[in-house]
C-alpha cells in the first residue's frame, strides 16, 4: 500500500500517533471489566461537549453509517412521514433510506452548490405534510456545503414536529453543532472525519423524545438504538463492545477538547478560508460559489477544464498529494480537499497548495 505524504482526502483522515497508540494495549473484556463502563461514560461526556448536548450519547461499534441507520430504523415504521431537506447526495440519500423502511418521504431539494436554506418552502412543506421527522445533513461532504441548522430547529419547535434528525458526521469537532440549542433529537457522528480516528465507531446523541419514540417502535437488530438507553449503568450492552475502538475515539475527542473546541473550530475556519482564497488565486474554480455556505472541513473545486478526473488525480498522487473525487452526479466534475481534523494543518495545506500550483490546471 502506498502512503501519500500529503493526505488531504475528505475522510477517513490521517490518524495521529496518539490515537494509534491507544490501540496498542491489550484491553480486557468489555463485557466483564467495570473499568470499561467507566471509560464509556467518560467518553460520552467528551462527545457531549463536542455536540453541545446534555442528551445521552450512544457509541456503537461500526462506521458512521451505522448511526444513520440506527436512528432511522429505531424511530420510524412503515407509513411514517419524513421530510428530507437536501442540498446534496447524502441529504437525498437519507430520504431514500427512510423510503426503504416504508416511510412516506418528501424531499426538498436545493442546488448542490448552495445551502439548504429555502426556509419558506421548508415551512410550507412542514405545515402541509406534517412530518414525524425532519432530516438534514450539516456538512455535505461530497460537495463541501455547510448547511444551517438553527432555522430547522425553530421550525421543529413551531410546528411540534416530533423528531429532528441531523447527520453531523463531517462537521462535529470542526464546526459548532449545538444539539440542544437547535432542538436536535438525533444527531449522528463518526470517528473517521474531524476526530481523525479509524473508521470503527459511530455515535449519536438521543433526546428524551427520541428515546420515547424508540420505546414505542421497539425495533430489534444489531443497529437497534433502544438497548443502549441504560446500557452503561446496567453494565449490559446488546453485543460485545470494542474497547480498543472506544479508547481511540476517546483519545481523538480529548485532542480536540485539550486544544479547546472554540480554538479548533477557529483553526478549521481559518484553514478553509486559506484554501479557498489560494485556490481561487491559482485559477481553480470553487464549486460552492457563496463562501458563507462553504464548509470549514472540506472544500470542493471543479476539475480543471479539459482534464479527466483520473488523469488529474494521477498527476497529484505522483507528486504525493491525495485528494478525493466525488459521487453520483458530481462524479468526474469536482474534486475535494479534506482540511479536517489532523489535516487542518497549515504546513500540510501549504504543501498541498504548492502541488496544486505545479500540476496543469
Is the pLDDT confidence value at 219 over 90? yes
Rounded Cα distance, 98 and 71, in Å = 10
Rounded Cα distance, 75 and 226, in Å = 9
Residue carrying the nine cell digits 458512521: 64
Q: Cis peptide before 155, with omega less than 30 degrees from 0?
A: no
Domain 6-13+261-358 grouped into CATH 3.90.1150.10: yes
DSSP letters for 63-74: -THHHHHHHHHH
Q: Which three cell numbers stand for residue 233?
A: 449503568
Q: Which residues contact 330 (CB under 8 A, 6 or more apart)?
A: 89, 112, 142, 143, 300
At 2, is the pLDDT very low, low, confident or very high (cuts 50, 70, 90)?
confident
Rounded Cα distance, 206 and 208, in Å = 7
Instruction: Calculate helix-pair angle for 261-281, 346-358, nearest 10 degrees.
Output: 10
Rounded Cα distance, 343 and 123, in Å = 38
Rounded Cα distance, 203 and 229, in Å = 13
Mean pLDDT over 277-282 rounds to 97
Q: Which among 158, 151, 291 has a CA at the least distance from the CA of 166?
A: 151
Q: Which three cell numbers stand for residue 16?
A: 495521529
The phi, psi pair for 194, rounded to 5°, reads -65, -35
Domain 17-257 grouped into CATH 1.10.530.10: no
- pLDDT tens digits along 287-339: 998 888 999 999 999 999 999 999 999 999 999 999 999 999 999 999 999 99
- pLDDT tens digits along 222-251: 999 999 999 999 999 999 999 999 999 999
Instruction: Calculate helix-pair angle for 34-51, 243-259, nearest 10 degrees.
Output: 40
For residue 247, give Cα distances in angstroms to 26, 50, 109, 229, 336: 11, 16, 39, 21, 30
Whether this prediction's pTM lies above 0.75 is answered by yes
Is the pLDDT confidence value at 59 over 90? yes
Rounded Cα distance, 1 and 5, in Å = 13
Count of residues in the chain: 361
Q: What percent of the chain is predicted at pLDDT more than 90?
A: 95
For residue 268, give Cα distances in angstroms to 17, 106, 175, 192: 20, 34, 8, 16
Rounded Cα distance, 144 and 126, in Å = 26
DSSP letters for 183-228: T-SEEEEETTSTT---TTEEEEEE-HHHHHHHHHH---STT-SGGG
Q: Which among 97, 164, 90 has a CA at the least distance from the CA of 131?
A: 164
Q: Where along the chain do its domains lie?
A: 6-13+261-358, 17-257
Tell me the average pLDDT of the chain.
Answer: 97
The whole-number pLDDT of residue 290 equals: 83
- pLDDT tens digits along 31-55: 999 999 999 999 999 999 999 999 9
Q: Decide if 6-13+261-358 and 17-257 have a common fold.
A: no
Amino acid at each position: 500500500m502506498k502512503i501519500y505524504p500529503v493526505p488531504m482526502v475528505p475522510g477517513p483522515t490521517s490518524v495521529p500517533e496518539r490515537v494509534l497508540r491507544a490501540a496498542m494495549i491489550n484491553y480486557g473484556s468489555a463485557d466483564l471489566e467495570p473499568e470499561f463502563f467507566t471509560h464509556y461514560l467518560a467518553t460520552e461526556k467528551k462527545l457531549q461537549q463536542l455536540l453541545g448536548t446534555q442528551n445521552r450519547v450512544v457509541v456503537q461499534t461500526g462506521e458512521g453509517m451505522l448511526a444513520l441507520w440506527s436512528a432511522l430504523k429505531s424511530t420510524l415504521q412503515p407509513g411514517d412521514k419524513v421530510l428530507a431537506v437536501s442540498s446534496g447526495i447524502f441529504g437525498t440519500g437519507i430520504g431514500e433510506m427512510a423510503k426503504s423502511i416504508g416511510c412516506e418521504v418528501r424531499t426538498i431539494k436545493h442546488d448542490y452548490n448552495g445551502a439548504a436554506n429555502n426556509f419558506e418552502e421548508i415551512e410550507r412543506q412542514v405545515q402541509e405534510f406534517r412530518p414525524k421527522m425532519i432530516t438534514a445533513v450539516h456538512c455535505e461532504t461530497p460537495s463541501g456545503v455547510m448547511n444551517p441548522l438553527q432555522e430547522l430547529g425553530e421550525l421543529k419547535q413551531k410546528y411540534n414536529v416530533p423528531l429532528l434528525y441531523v447527520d453531523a458526521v463531517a462537521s462535529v469537532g470542526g464546526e459548532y453543532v449545538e444539539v440542544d440549542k437547535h432542538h436536535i433529537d438525533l444527531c449522528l457522528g463518526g470517528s473517521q472525519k474531524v476526530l481523525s480516528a479509524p473508521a470503527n465507531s459511530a455515535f449519536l446523541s438521543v433526546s428524551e423524545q427520541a428515546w420515547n419514540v424508540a420505546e414505542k417502535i421497539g425495533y430489534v437488530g444489531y443497529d437497534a438504538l433502544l438497548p443502549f438507553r441504560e446500557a452503561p449503568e446496567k453494565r449490559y450492552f446488546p453485543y460485545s463492545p470494542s474497547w480498543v475502538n472506544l479508547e481511540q475515539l476517546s483519545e481523538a475527542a480529548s485532542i480536540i477538547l485539550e486544544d479547546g473546541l472554540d480554538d479548533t473550530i477557529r483553526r478549521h475556519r481559518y484553514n478553509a478560508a486559506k484554501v479557498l482564497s489560494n485556490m481561487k488565486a491559482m485559477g481553480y474554480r470553487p464549486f460552492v460559489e457563496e463562501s458563507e455556505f462553504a464548509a470549514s472541513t472540506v472544500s470542493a473545486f471543479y476539475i480543471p477544464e479539459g482534464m479527466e478526473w483520473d488523469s488529474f488525480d494521477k498527476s497529484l498522487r505522483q507528486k504525493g498529494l491525495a485528494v478525493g473525487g466525488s459521487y453520483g452526479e458530481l462524479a468526474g466534475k469536482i474534486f475535494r480537499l479534506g482540511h479536517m481534523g489532523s489535516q487542518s494543518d497549515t504546513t500540510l495545506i501549504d504543501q498541498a497548495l504548492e502541488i496544486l500550483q505545479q500540476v496543469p490546471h
